[in-house]
Amino acid sequence: MSASPVLDMVTTTATAHPEATAITQGERSLTYRELAAAIPPFADALAAAGASPGTHVLLVLDNRPEFAVAYFATAEAGCTVEAIDPDQPPQALRRRLADSRPAVVVTTEGHPVATLTDRPVL
């Protein structure tokens, strides 16, 4: 059992119904097996980038399967999840970065938040 009841639900469902659809976005989807399999490597990547239990991880992602993977991996790593709409203007992104002081920022390739922080970006 993990520290996250929601994460426990994902792993329990992945065991009971591995081929059931967990997430769909347009033509893309992840099964519970795929979602559960993606979480530990991403949690390891967060740790390698400097996230540790109790630190904050800022997710700057829109609604996509990668958001779910990043969310659950952050919980698996024992970190606090913070999320912000990726369409926020740079001033709002700077303010959130200053307020939360995340250990790691997770975003899509080329997102402007990567240029606004000195924290590791995944």
Residue 106 is predicted with a pLDDT of 96
Segment 79-119, tens digit of pLDDT = 999 999 999 999 999 999 999 899 999 999 988 888 888 89
Q: What is the DSSP letter of 53?
A: T
Domain count, the chain: 1
Domain span holding position 48: 5-116
Kind and range of the H or E element at 105?
strand 104-107
* 17 sits in which H/E element: none
Single pTM value for the model: 0.87
Q: What is the pLDDT of residues 25-40, one digit of tens each?
A: 988 999 999 999 999 9
84: CATH: 3.40.50.980
Domain-embedded: residue 121: no
Residue 35 lies in a domain: yes
